[in-house]
């Protein structure tokens, strides 16, 4: 495992020292691991969305073509 050094203001360190039962190193390690997992998941989802852009564009275009002229057709039928 790799070690990192963290700096916190003296006031924060004093407050941390009030809770000796707290494993601050473990807390920070777990927080970093959770955040990196969340960011990795986000990057993966953004990549998938980017891959699906052509399909999404095709679907939007298809729906627009299907709706084109629909309002005039409804007016002609007396529905609007």
Note the pLDDT tens digit of each residue in 1-11.
899 999 999 99
Please report the pLDDT score of residue 71 as a whole number.
81
Q: Which helix (H) or strand (E) holds 15?
A: helix 10-17
CA gap 42, 47 in Å, rounded: 9
CA gap 19, 58 in Å, rounded: 58
Please report the pLDDT score of residue 80 as a whole number.
66
CA gap 75, 63 in Å, rounded: 20
Note the pLDDT tens digit of each residue in 22-68.
999 999 999 999 999 999 999 999 999 999 999 999 999 998 888 88
């Amino acid at each position: 495992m790799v070690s990192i050094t963290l700096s916190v203001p003296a006031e924060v360190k004093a407050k941390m020292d009030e809770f000796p039962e707290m494993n601050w190193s473990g807390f920070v390690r777990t927080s970093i691991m959770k955040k990196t997992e969340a960011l990795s998941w986000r990057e993966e989802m953004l990549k998938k969305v980017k891959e699906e852009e052509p399909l999404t564009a095709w679907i939007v275009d298809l729906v627009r073509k299907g709706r084109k002229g629909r309002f005039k057709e409804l007016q002609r039928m007396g529905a609007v």
